[in-house]
């Protein structure tokens, strides 16, 4: 083999670089950690059941936004909990909004959002509850 040493060295460097994400994550403290969103104390359930909220809260919030801003509606009728209504609001402090119960963004929203690396732009405009500071 001509230039065997160089080729083998090159292959080794190549493998090290390609597998960088794998061995780097082993050396990272965050490995094996799971997000731990803190649930608000003293409340039995959210506006829908937990499984639905985990999977579809972003769709729900989008629907709420359209319903409030574009249709001028205000109250959401829960599908899982018949007869229960909730104000459709993320952060309005004058009604019972999402952030009334989930009063700390860092302890709740950010936990999973940071874990999966998504940055929703809700808080670019909406005002974070003071529980955060």
- Residues at the interface with other proteins (CB under 8 A): 64-65, 67-77, 79, 82-83, 85, 87-88, 91-95, 121, 123-127, 129-130, 133
Q: 57 or 126, CB closer to other proteins?
A: 126
Q: Let me know: does 118 contact 111? Beta carbons within 8 Å.
A: no
Q: 34 or 70, CB closer to other proteins?
A: 70
Shortest approach of other proteins to residue 2 CB, angstroms? 56
Q: Let me know: does 98 contact 89? Beta carbons within 8 Å.
A: yes
Identify the sign of the CA torsion 119, 125, 129, 130.
Answer: positive
CB atoms < 10 A from the CB of 97, how many?
19
Q: Residues for the chain: how many in total?
A: 133
Q: Let me know: does 61 contact 67? Beta carbons within 8 Å.
A: no
Shortest approach of other proteins to residue 81 CB, angstroms? 10
Shortest approach of other proteins to residue 103 CB, angstroms? 11
Per DSSP, 21 falls in state: H
Shortest approach of other proteins to residue 62 CB, angstroms? 9
* 3-7 contact pairs (CB < 8 A, 24+): none
């Amino acid at each position: 083999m001509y230039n065997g040493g160089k080729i083998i060295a090159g292959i080794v460097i190549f493998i090290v670089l390609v597998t960088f994400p794998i061995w780097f994550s082993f050396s990272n403290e965050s490995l094996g950690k799971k997000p731990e969103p803190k649930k608000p104390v003293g409340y039995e359930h959210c506006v829908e059941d937990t499984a639905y909220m985990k999977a579809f809260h972003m769709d729900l919030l989008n629907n709420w936004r359209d319903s409030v801003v574009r249709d001028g509606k205000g109250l959401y009728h829960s599908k899982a909990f018949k007869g229960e209504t909730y104000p459709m609001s993320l952060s309005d402090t004058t009604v019972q909004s999402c952030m009334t119960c989930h009063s700390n963004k860092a302890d709740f929203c950010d936990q999973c959002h940071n874990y999966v690396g998504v940055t929703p732009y809700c808080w670019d405009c909406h005002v974070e509850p003071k529980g955060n500071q």
